[in-house]
Chains A and B, each alone.
Chain A
Amino acid sequence: MAIAHYLQNIDWLVEFSESVLAYPIVLSIHLTCIALFGGMILVTDLRLLGLTFKSLTITDVVTSLRPWKRVGGTVMIAMGLPLAACDAEKYAPNPFFWTKMITLGLIGVHALIFRPIVYSRTEELDRSPVIPTKAKVAAILSLGLWTTMFVMGRLIAYWD
């Protein structure tokens, strides 16, 4: 709680949370990234499940969207930090916020597990006559994790 109190009272964060324009602009960018970046995750996962974009190889979809997902993810997190920090005392006891953060951690674990065996081996997946189970598992878990992340983000506002 002391940390939350300290964070929330940093000068520029106080100004940020009281500003008429900066706060909603940062929030809008955060949400725009959800749309741009969310669409790319959805396409990647649905392609891994073999449900769409079948005229493109898995390699095409994964590698051509990878840099944009990185940009989107970075901007999204960069915008999320001040949004949470400027209201730290309200976020610190909020169970939805912590569920969201744990989900974010699990997304990291997902990447650690599946990058070496799925996302970095797309050519192998493309050569396989049927899409291997490990790729489908990775896709379903990814969809589940990102949906949880999104829903928890929205629910943060509903806890008091």
Chain B
Amino acid sequence: MILQNAIADVLNNTEWAFALAECVHIGGFAIGVGSIALVDFRMLNLGLRHETAGRILRYTEPWTLFALVFVIFSGFALYMSQVDIYLVNLIFPYKMYVLVAALIYNFTVHRKVATMENPPPLMSKLVAIVSLLLWVSVVFGGIFTGFLV
């Protein structure tokens, strides 16, 4: 409660803090989702074909993790600044369900198939499409949280 008040106080009463938190949140997801999408594009055979999906995953995974930490912390701060609004929001809970699903999927199925030596091409493509759909849904969920109150 005290933490929530302190965070809400800073974000609501300083001119730049909310804007900064939003920039970190959106910039973070751009890098996080963007780096996952690079692996997906490779799995779909659409780019970076001179390297395996597994190697691309290894290159990008540190950025993904780093960015997701920023997204989640800034997102938590934004949530804390207006808890009452989020608690009654119709879309927000769905965004959270999809986010949890996307995170679990990313570090289990997606990671496993991306790093396989010779995954069946169809499986690889399917896994990449589901990954892109999940993350795009989280982005849509975020925007709709702001529009359908």
Contacts and interface: CB of A to CB of B under 8 A. Distances in A.
Interface residues of A, number: 33
Interface in B94-149: 135-136, 139-140, 142-144, 146-148
A131 to B, nearest CB: 17
A111 interface: no
Interface string B15-28: 00001001100110
User: Per DSSP, are chain B's interface residues mostly helix, strand or loop, or mixed?
Assistant: helix
Residue picked from A20, A34, A35, most chain B C-beta under 10 Å: A35
Contacts of B93: none
B23 A154 contact: yes
Given A57-B50, A64-B49, A43 B38 contact: yes
Contacts of B50: 56-57, 60, 64
Interface residues of B, number: 36
Nearest to B147: A24
A69 to B, nearest CB: 10
A23 B27 contact: no
Interface in B28-42: 29-35, 37-38, 41
Nearest to B62: A52
A28 to B, nearest CB: 4
A24 B139 CA distance: 11
Contacts of B73: none
A35 B34 contact: yes
A32 interface: yes
Contact of A56 (B29, B48, B148): B48
A38 B31 contact: yes
B2 interface: no
A38 B48 contact: no
B51 interface: yes
A68 B35 contact: no
Given A28-B144, A154-B23, A42 B51 contact: no
A36 B22 contact: no
A154 B140 contact: no
Contacts of A64: 47-50
Interface of A: 20, 23-25, 27-28, 31-32, 34-40, 42-43, 52-53, 55-57, 60-61, 64-65, 68, 147, 150-151, 154-155, 158
8 contacts: A23-B147, A32-B136, A32-B140, A39-B31, A40-B34, A40-B38, A57-B50, A68-B47
10 nearest CB pairs, A to B: A39-B34, A35-B33, A38-B30, A24-B147, A28-B143, A28-B140, A60-B50, A64-B47, A35-B30, A35-B34
